[in-house]
Structure 1
Amino acid sequence: MSASGTEPPLVPGDRPSAAHCHALRVRLPAGTSADDVAAALSEAVRAWWPQDAPERLPRLWTERTPATAGALRAELYRPVAPGSRLRAVLFTGPGPGAETELVLTAHRADLDMASLRLVADVLLGRVPADRPRPLRPDWPGPRPSPPSRPDGDHAGPAAWAEGDPTAGTDTATLAVPVPATGGAGLDPALLVVATAVVQARYEGVERPVIGVLTVLPGRPESALGPFEGNVLVPVDVGGGRPAELVDRARQAITAPQAWCDPSTYAELTSGGHRVRAGVLAVPGGAGRQGPDGLPTVLPCLAGTFDLTLVPDRGAGGEDVLTVHHRLAEIDAGSAARFARHVVTAYTRLAAPAPEDRPAVALDIDLLDGAEREQLVRAGGPATTPEWPPYRLDEAFARQAARRPDAVALVCEGDSITYRELDSRAERMAVGLLAQGVTPGERVGLCLGRSPDLVVAMLAVLKADAVYVPMDPAHPADRLAYTAEDAGLRLVVTDVDALPATSARAVRPDEVAAAGADGTLAPPGRGPGEAAYVIYTSGSTGRPKGVVVPHRNVVALIDATREDFGLGPDDTWTLFHSSAFDFSVWEIWGPLLTGGSLVVVPYWVSRSPGEFRDLLVERRVSVLSQTPSAFAQLIEADRGHGRPLSLRLVVFGGEPLDTRVLRTWFDRYPESACRLVNMFGITETTVHVTAQTVTRREVLAGSRSVGPALPGWYLYVLDERGRPVPFGAPGEIHVGGAGVALEYLNRPELTAERFLPDPFRGGRMYRSGDRGRLWPDGRLEHLGRLDNQVKIRGFRIELDEIRNVLLDDPAVTAAAVLVAGEGAQDAAAARIDAYVVLDGDDTAAVRGRAATLLPEYMLPATVTALPALPLTANGKLDTRRLPAPAAVRRPPAPAAAVQDPPTARRHSRGPSAELSAQLAEVWEAVLGVPVGPDDNFFSLGGNSLYAVRVAAAMSARRLPALPMRELYLHPTVRRLARALAPAAEA
């Protein structure tokens, strides 16, 4: 390239963004002299910008080569150098009569497209050089602001785009044809509304903000300057008739007062809006693409927004939608789908017949039949695998017959073979029948983690009844409610004082003794009948029972048996509460595949170090964990010489933050231990999907929970029950083999959540979870749509907690929030309650709630307020809530504060010194002041914080802290006495 001067070099990092540069390509008459064009340009720019230094004025660069497509493309998409107003490049071939092409490129902040056309006209001699008038400080009339440069206005990938975080910042381009709509080119305002409709569907919002690059209204004729800029247009696609939305968009585009107003952008983004997509509405005229397929007008060298839509014309004059998308934000497949759906929405909005136009913009169905079918296929296989029609007890009996002498169950040194387990369960089943249990009757099991729990479950099934697990650690009122709601006449329990109900309590040994001499007839109910009922949190203030049949559990094990390699060589653990549906997978997984089950005692499950020792001792190979619990195990395993024998770890119960797995892979490579992240719901039988987690997923921060299990189906639907496009968020619906029968005694709720499957027949469950589906069938879980959360694997309805608080006579208003949900530090997740009450005894409020709510649902803090702050719409204003406060009691009388004689006797000595150190540890872990008689759990402590306390005590070389001692002695003073040397007692 040659020129009469030197263009400033391009400095990496200092190059003007290609998104804000544009170019014009002009074919000159054959034989045009490059010297004449250079002279015309030199004369014109001296007249236009006399204040510029001569070395900064634009000059003509000449390429003495033919204007090949490759050379033209490289020039068209090259931004101007820093400080340059204009770059002019002339391509001219050798010899007289050669074709000549002129390419003019400028930054939009200096010259708009009309200015580039004026420059071209001057260089071609069509207008005199003194006709264009450059913009000056004393320009009469409206002066445009420089166009906003949105490079910093975008925060991360769009929710619907499968962006590659390792990709660069380059922009890719594609073109989508637009069917003829009978108009002269694409209507920019209509295109804005169509784009808003699609973005609303892709991001799950009703008022997306669309950026529009357009021309300043009333642009002076023959002016040189920056008369193009960005307008931000909010489009309320959830309300208003489409024609009204188009009119508003047209007014916004053409209203001078809205032009590049920074306050407008701040106002729009303050509500959580982001400008993801934009429309370039700058005029270009017909024939914007040349015969060689390259543009003659290039409105932007790269996308101004993450995804930029440009109404264009093809070489034949047909309408074309050109799409620029930033590769670091939006992949090619997502960009193409988005553009196709914009064309669909545009065509529907522009339909000639009024009856063909939608009444509401969001009613437009973006999918055609082929894409809808593709979405349905991606959510699962076309047909359901044929599982053997077995009941759970029948499937277990088959394993017992194959390996009668293999170990089926281990608990604290006791081992039970398959033959013994089958025999004990049969004897107890006979005893249940002797107690009057009838087929299909529900039987409560309020048992701790022991062999009796597994024996009793199997016995209830053998008796053709339905077991209802009840965690002995739950409050008495909750256990009583479960017994009454399930209609239990009999509860098998090892609890000495079962709460008063109409159900009769009987101990496991009594049931077994009653069946010592009887025989058992084959059950009469089939695999499709109920096997168990598990109670989950309910929004009405009371838990709800989920009824699950035998066949669902058998299908779950069969669906994973081959992929996971489940078999008789595996050893599993029962780590979780029997009232938590994860235990269904843990118990029946090994018993239906011939493996061995290690029952983990409660206190061992609360101590990661002891749990790790148990895993090593029993050579456990298959482990099921919530991510919260596994994070503790990783810490406990750090630095130990003898590795674990795990070959498979299954995550479930709560979202997995893959970042916590980085150190795990350093010790246990993927080839040695497979990690699987599974999404599931109690109502769909524990698990629905499976995603193998490798280092790649960890590095990418993947949120994928994988494709559906064989026999399960996934649908991501909008509020109208329509499939949403790939990558767009919607509500997860699950169909297939895992769908439960019903909610017990809740016909209205059953009808609301268990729906007919319109795609494959049968039934599907409306989960209330938000997710997005990809073409390869992978599902990404995006959280809840309602007021439900998951903390440490437990599903919690915040409304249930709120209703329990409102039942307190002292409470007149209440709000419940979750702090730290989804944080990498699982212990940071905490339930905070705010109440309006008579007095300030928040400890009494929490104490009453503790009689109704299990520990994992109990608010860590209860803060008293004179009134709950509300928004103008009467909703809770969470931004105005104060920082949560620890529970407290009213000040006691002075006499009552004095230590009793027993306490004064311990005011000195080792326990007093240990008390002071314990208080320091608790304060550091809990972040609140700690008194000698403050209850650890009332201060917001939980099992995860307890592990931290134990670790901090170990670091200070304080006595070891067994978890049992903390639960039995939950105050500083009592714990110090329990841990002090025996001589101090």
Structure 2
Amino acid sequence: MPPSHHALTVRLPPAASAPALAAALTAAAGLWWPARRRPRLWTQDVPAPPGSAAAARRRAVETGRPLAPGHRLRAVLLRYTGGERPKGGGPVATADGERQEGVGDLVLTADGDALDARSLWLVARVLRGELAPDAVTPLDGPLPPDLGAGGAARRWAAALAVTVGRYEGAASVRVAVPVPALGRPPYALGALDGYAVFAADLSPGRTVGELLATPLRPPVGDGPPPLGLVDRGPADGEDGVTAHPCPRPPYARTYLTGAVGPLTALPPDPGAVPVPVGQVERVRARLADVSPTTPLSALDPLDAAQRAARLALGTTAPAAPTAPRRIEALFAEQAAARPDAPALTCGDATLSYARLDDRARELADGLYALGVRPGDLVGLCLPRSADLVAAMLAVLRAGAAYVPLDPEHPAELRERTARDAGVRLTVEDPARLTGHPPRPAEEAASPSAPAYVIHTSGSTGRPKGVLVPHANVVALVEATRGDFGLGPGDTWTCFHSAAFDFSVWEIWGPLLTGGRLVVVDHWTARSPEDFRALLVRERVSVLSQTPSAFTQLAAADRAEAARGSALAVRLVVLGGEPLDARPLLDWFDRHPEDRCRLVNMYGITETTVHVTAGAVTRGQALSGSRSVGRPLPGWSVRVVDAHGRPVPPGAPGEIVVGGAGVALGYLHRPELTAARFVPDPRGPGRLYRSGDLGRLLPDGSLEHLGRIDDQVKVRGFRVEPGEIRHVLLEDPAVAAAAVTVTGGDGDAASVRIDAYVVPAPGAGEDTGPVRERAARLLPPHMAPTTVTALPALPLTANGKLDPARLPAPGEPRPPRTPPTAATLRKAAGTGGPADPAVPASLSPGPAGPAAALAAIWQEVLGVEAVGPEDDFWDLGGNSLYAIRIAALARERGLPGVPLRQLYLTPTLGALSEALAVPPDAASSGSAPASGA
């Protein structure tokens, strides 16, 4: 791909005159080209010496100006006058006393599609009188490129490909390379030289010799590469001649090369990662020095100093290193210092630090009486309550580690998790732990002992239990205490499930800094309006939320703020899933940054909840920043390639975490632990290979770019599709299975998990039982939205699943009695008698709200029709969708739809009937234990 235009600046001797140049140009052009649009000489006087900054700026303007459409060549004579010429003529006197007579520059600008670099130099030689015009022969080009030539350019292309491959994490890189025309006559004129493509294969195992043997290929029809070399041309470096190969770079990243001058990088397009020339030159030198059998992986663009700088960039030293501590020891210090201060609020009851300490001691005695000893694992299957927090403290006091089992998860899943962990016992009723004698005094356990085990999704179908020690949790609190200003004046909320590691931060953050913890019950956590009311009522100052939940809370806050109830929140910590900062502008309008600080934190269960922290500002919201901030004090972040080497600045790679937060490993999974928790090759300690893709920016902040593998986040939870597939394959009715995760695009509620199964012989095609079994064994956020039966899974030629050929998933459940437009008209009394399948409350008029409610269901759930017997959850509903339905119902003048009511009456007909009766009757009864 030639430049759109290129130029030469030719310094003319004092004897050169404009009329002579014009005559020479006219004569030559008459020989070379037809009469139409022949070039002419333009002259301009520049009132400055030729060596001045003003003259340089004028030359730059002229060389950068493109040609008019249809023109091959433009010739401009710049005559430097240095000021007013004396009366009567004579030489020009410059400001510095230099006397110059008629010194000028001839600027020749050519259309790259008409004249190549060698042709433009031939024109300059003719106009300088060095070559006769009739010695030059115009040709119609282009000629075929000499793909065997261009050895120097090929080596530059190889070095450029290797370096760019490191920046982009690419296994193949295409570079446009300038090559001479094959058999070109010495004085031929035209666009004859060409470009070829150097397609570098950078796959693992490739060698230097294989790379350098890569043949040049003619350009293909899919457009030029975004990366290319441009030859400076033969004139660069000649006496009095300066080449300007491409004032407007033809590629997103353009580099100038040639026999004269070093490699030069032109400014890249916005969004293109700039690749420093020095690193390309380093790789090129290595290509010339190493053996052809050297692996490409040995070619590192960074030198030792640059690698050290990258490691330092992602490391934040602790502000004040302290000895490791245990969680219950720090809590005991708070209880001793402030025994009467409020520690925990749940509902209408508040426990002081002393009372919570006593309750934990009582439960610890009971654990000992039931056989729990230091080092044991204890399952906690308790709802969010004061007893849950007390039981956690009790387990730690007993020297054991707690394993949270969410009571809202299916019973079979909880049993599997408990068996995998090998718990000594599971606490479901704290009353069993009361009334026991005090346990004997024991030596204090080590801070490096496990404090808890939280399970995350696993690709083999078996959740992975992560062992996290006490010291890590204490280090997390200490790393954030100063910057976040955490202390006794704060009130926090425990909003998330104990089986989600965000809860570790929410619970121990306040209790180890003297603050108060407010436990949010199940139903309040699922109603943004009720949750906001709790924040106002309890004067909550520190709030932790996933972006999905915070979006719903912000909407409720917008509606309620106009009524005068103000939040006391001063710090919002966002984490658990990627943050799209753009919707936060509305929040900033009501809660300016100087009154409420928003912090985005990236974290992993295996590195103790949080790794980085970055303030979210209005400016970042406007720009849509993806930054997750810098590492916490004591944590480190590296971004590495497949060989564990730090990648160049701004380049993508795997996020690897070291420092104070790295967990002990996976419970009962030594092989997996060895693969993911690896020794630090540059010092003591271990690193955790996260499997996340990211890049470190020059300021040390991290951008999170998603997953390297197929793991996804669903409502803040890590989900391995392989685990869902494994559960499906355990079903005797399933012979083969595939799982896809679609949707999202910044909308966490729209993420859907679709399963495809091949029924086992004799099993039939009814997938209802398959889906119901999966729902019993998987947490709600992992249960497939649909299960579609197929005669066979589509495969690629290599025998792997071909997701592109999977059909659209089936309906979550076919609507049983979809109300048509005619049916609704009849029910409204405008088209005949009402359809007996539709209750009276389905009327869109005064008789009931169900027709409008059905329209809201269709809009939110994305289904075409909804009948009175259709179940919200079977149609793909989840708690986020339920919140949206409630908000839309209020906006359209319908009664509120409490999430609790959706559990009690999940069908459209039953819900409509419930909403038509007094609220106290609608809310009676007990809610089932399963969650959304």
Q: What TM-score does the superposition give when structure 2 sets the normalisation length?
A: 0.88
Conserved 8 A contact 1:62-1:89: yes
SS at 1:728 equivalent:
coil
Please name the residue that 1:160 is paired with: none
Per-residue CA deviations over 1:750-770 (Å, capped at 9, x if unaligned) read 111111112231111111111
Does residue 642 of structure 2 align to residue 719 of structure 1? yes
Once residues 352 and 672 of structure 2 are traced to their aligned partners in structure 1, the CA distance between those partners, rounded to angstroms, is: 42
Aligned-residue CA RMSD in angstroms? Answer: 2.8
Once residues 980 and 731 of structure 1 are traced to their aligned partners in structure 2, the CA distance between those partners, rounded to angstroms, is: 55
User: Equivalent of 1:828, from 745, 750, 755?
Assistant: 750
Once residues 513 and 416 of structure 2 are traced to their aligned partners in structure 1, the CA distance between those partners, rounded to angstroms, is: 35
Once residues 597 and 193 of structure 2 are traced to their aligned partners in structure 1, the CA distance between those partners, rounded to angstroms, is: 56
How far did residue 716 of structure 1 move? 1.2
Please name the residue that 2:541 is paired with: 621
User: Equivalent of 2:51, from 68, 73, 94?
Assistant: 68
Does residue 90 of structure 2 align to residue 103 of structure 1? no
SS at 1:745 equivalent:
coil
Once residues 633 and 281 of structure 1 are traced to their aligned partners in structure 2, the CA distance between those partners, rounded to angstroms, is: 58
Please name the residue that 1:340 is paired with: 278
Does residue 672 of structure 2 align to residue 749 of structure 1? yes
Does residue 361 of structure 2 align to residue 426 of structure 1? yes
Please name the residue that 2:17 is paired with: 33
Q: What amino acid does structure 1 have at the position aligned with 2:106?
A: L
**Structure 1 stretch displaced more, 922-931 or 60-69:** 60-69
Does residue 308 of structure 2 align to residue 326 of structure 1? no
Please name the residue that 2:798 is paired with: 873
Does residue 522 of structure 2 align to residue 593 of structure 1? no
SS at 2:556 equivalent:
helix
Once residues 615 and 708 of structure 2 are traced to their aligned partners in structure 1, the CA distance between those partners, rounded to angstroms, is: 26
**Structure 1 stretch displaced more, 774-783 or 275-284:** 275-284
Please name the residue that 2:94 is paired with: none
Please name the residue that 2:223 is paired with: 265
Judged with a 3 Å threshold, the aligned counterparts in structure 2 of structure 1 residues 58 and 939 are, in CA distance, closer, same or farther, namely farther
Q: What amino acid does structure 2 have at the position aligned with 1:598?
A: V
Once residues 222 and 372 of structure 1 are traced to their aligned partners in structure 2, the CA distance between those partners, rounded to angstroms, is: 50
Please name the residue that 1:88 is paired with: 75
How far did residue 629 of structure 1 move? 0.5
User: Equivalent of 2:234, from 270, 281, 284?
Assistant: 284
Once residues 914 and 786 of structure 1 are traced to their aligned partners in structure 2, the CA distance between those partners, rounded to angstroms, is: 46
Please name the residue that 1:771 is paired with: 694
How far did residue 431 of structure 1 move? 1.5
Q: How does 1:284-433 map to 2 (within 5 A)?
A: 284=234, 287=237, 296-312=242-258, 319-326=261-268, 328-330=270-272, 335=274, 338-351=276-289, 355=291, 357=292, 359-381=294-316, 385-433=320-368
Once residues 289 and 601 of structure 1 are traced to their aligned partners in structure 2, the CA distance between those partners, rounded to angstroms, is: 83
SS at 2:163 equivalent:
helix
Judged with a 3 Å threshold, the aligned counterparts in structure 2 of structure 1 residues 92 and 713 are, in CA distance, closer, same or farther, namely same
How far did residue 796 of structure 1 move? 0.8
User: Equivalent of 1:979, from 903, 910, 915?
Assistant: 915
Judged with a 3 Å threshold, the aligned counterparts in structure 2 of structure 1 residues 809 and 918 are, in CA distance, closer, same or farther, namely farther
Judged with a 3 Å threshold, the aligned counterparts in structure 2 of structure 1 residues 57 and 27 are, in CA distance, closer, same or farther, namely closer
Please name the residue that 1:630 is paired with: 550
Please name the residue that 2:877 is paired with: 941
How far did residue 18 of structure 1 move? 12
Please name the residue that 1:459 is paired with: 394
Please name the residue that 1:194 is paired with: 159
Please name the residue that 1:657 is paired with: 580
SS at 2:451 equivalent:
strand
Please name the residue that 2:783 is paired with: 858
Q: What amino acid does structure 1 have at the position aligned with 2:451?
A: A
Does residue 732 of structure 2 align to residue 784 of structure 1? no
How far did residue 312 of structure 1 move? 4.3
How far did residue 406 of structure 1 move? 1.2
Per-residue CA deviations over 1:9-32 (Å, capped at 9, x if unaligned) read xxxxxxxx9952211122333422
**Structure 1 stretch displaced more, 27-36 or 703-712:** 27-36
SS at 2:687 equivalent:
strand
Q: What amino acid does structure 1 have at the position aligned with 2:299?
A: I
How far did residue 908 of structure 1 move? 4.0
User: Equivalent of 2:433, from 511, 515, 530?
Assistant: 511
Conserved 8 A contact 1:215-1:282: no
How far did residue 364 of structure 1 move? 1.1
Judged with a 3 Å threshold, the aligned counterparts in structure 2 of structure 1 residues 396 and 343 are, in CA distance, closer, same or farther, namely same
SS at 1:686 equivalent:
coil
Does residue 129 of structure 2 align to residue 125 of structure 1? yes
Please name the residue that 1:920 is paired with: 855
Per-residue CA deviations over 1:243-298 (Å, capped at 9, x if unaligned) read 3433334x32xxxxx24x4x2439xxxxxxxx3321114643672697xxxx7122
Give unpaired runs (5+ residues) of structure 1: 1-16, 146-183, 253-257, 267-274, 494-506, 893-902
Judged with a 3 Å threshold, the aligned counterparts in structure 2 of structure 1 residues 63 and 905 are, in CA distance, closer, same or farther, namely closer
Please name the residue that 1:78 is paired with: 64
Please name the residue that 1:970 is paired with: 906
Q: How does 1:36-55 map to 2 (within 5 A)?
A: 36-53=20-37
Does residue 206 of structure 2 align to residue 235 of structure 1? no
How far did residue 78 of structure 1 move? 1.8
Q: How does 1:12-23 map to 2 (within 5 A)?
A: 20-23=4-7
Once residues 509 and 293 of structure 2 are traced to their aligned partners in structure 1, the CA distance between those partners, rounded to angstroms, is: 51
User: Equivalent of 1:730, from 630, 653, 663?
Assistant: 653
Q: What amino acid does structure 2 have at the position aligned with 1:248?
A: T
How far did residue 58 of structure 1 move? 3.1
Conserved 8 A contact 1:566-1:593: yes
**Structure 1 stretch displaced more, 91-100 or 660-669:** 91-100
How far did residue 115 of structure 1 move? 1.6
Once residues 382 and 373 of structure 1 are traced to their aligned partners in structure 2, the CA distance between those partners, rounded to angstroms, is: 15
User: Equivalent of 2:455, from 510, 529, 535?
Assistant: 535
Once residues 371 and 825 of structure 1 are traced to their aligned partners in structure 2, the CA distance between those partners, rounded to angstroms, is: 39
Q: What TM-score does the superposition give when structure 1 sets the normalisation length?
A: 0.84
Q: What amino acid does structure 2 have at the position aligned with 1:67?
A: P
Conserved 8 A contact 1:648-1:675: yes
Conserved 8 A contact 2:839-2:909: no
Q: What amino acid does structure 2 have at the position aligned with 1:909?
A: A
Conserved 8 A contact 1:429-1:520: no
SS at 2:226 equivalent:
strand
Q: What amino acid does structure 2 have at the position aligned with 1:836?
A: V
How far did residue 574 of structure 1 move? 0.4
Conserved 8 A contact 1:675-1:692: yes
Q: What amino acid does structure 2 have at the position aligned with 1:800?
A: E
Does residue 17 of structure 2 align to residue 59 of structure 1? no
Does residue 621 of structure 2 align to residue 707 of structure 1? no
Q: What amino acid does structure 2 have at the position aligned with 1:265?
A: G
Conserved 8 A contact 2:815-2:870: no
Q: What amino acid does structure 2 have at the position aligned with 1:864?
A: A
Once residues 113 and 123 of structure 1 are traced to their aligned partners in structure 2, the CA distance between those partners, rounded to angstroms, is: 16
Does residue 730 of structure 2 align to residue 807 of structure 1? yes
Per-residue CA deviations over 1:633-679 (Å, capped at 9, x if unaligned) read 11111132323211100011001011121111111111111111101
How far did residue 772 of structure 1 move? 0.9
Once residues 613 and 19 of structure 1 are traced to their aligned partners in structure 2, the CA distance between those partners, rounded to angstroms, is: 64
Does residue 675 of structure 2 align to residue 739 of structure 1? no
Once residues 554 and 709 of structure 1 are traced to their aligned partners in structure 2, the CA distance between those partners, rounded to angstroms, is: 13
Identity of aligned pairs, percent? Answer: 52
SS at 1:738 equivalent:
coil
How far did residue 476 of structure 1 move? 1.2
Per-residue CA deviations over 1:466-491 (Å, capped at 9, x if unaligned) read 11111001111111111111212311
Judged with a 3 Å threshold, the aligned counterparts in structure 2 of structure 1 residues 72 and 877 are, in CA distance, closer, same or farther, namely same
How far did residue 101 of structure 1 move? 2.8
How far did residue 521 of structure 1 move? 2.4
Please name the residue that 1:602 is paired with: 522
SS at 2:380 equivalent:
strand
Once residues 234 and 800 of structure 2 are traced to their aligned partners in structure 1, the CA distance between those partners, rounded to angstroms, is: 49
Conserved 8 A contact 1:18-1:302: no
Once residues 163 and 671 of structure 2 are traced to their aligned partners in structure 1, the CA distance between those partners, rounded to angstroms, is: 34
Aligned residues: 868
Judged with a 3 Å threshold, the aligned counterparts in structure 2 of structure 1 residues 144 and 108 are, in CA distance, closer, same or farther, namely farther
Judged with a 3 Å threshold, the aligned counterparts in structure 2 of structure 1 residues 549 and 581 are, in CA distance, closer, same or farther, namely same
How far did residue 935 of structure 1 move? 2.3
Conserved 8 A contact 1:67-1:91: no
Judged with a 3 Å threshold, the aligned counterparts in structure 2 of structure 1 residues 865 and 905 are, in CA distance, closer, same or farther, namely closer
Aligned structure 1 segments of 4 or more residues deviating by more than 6 angstroms: 889-892, 903-906
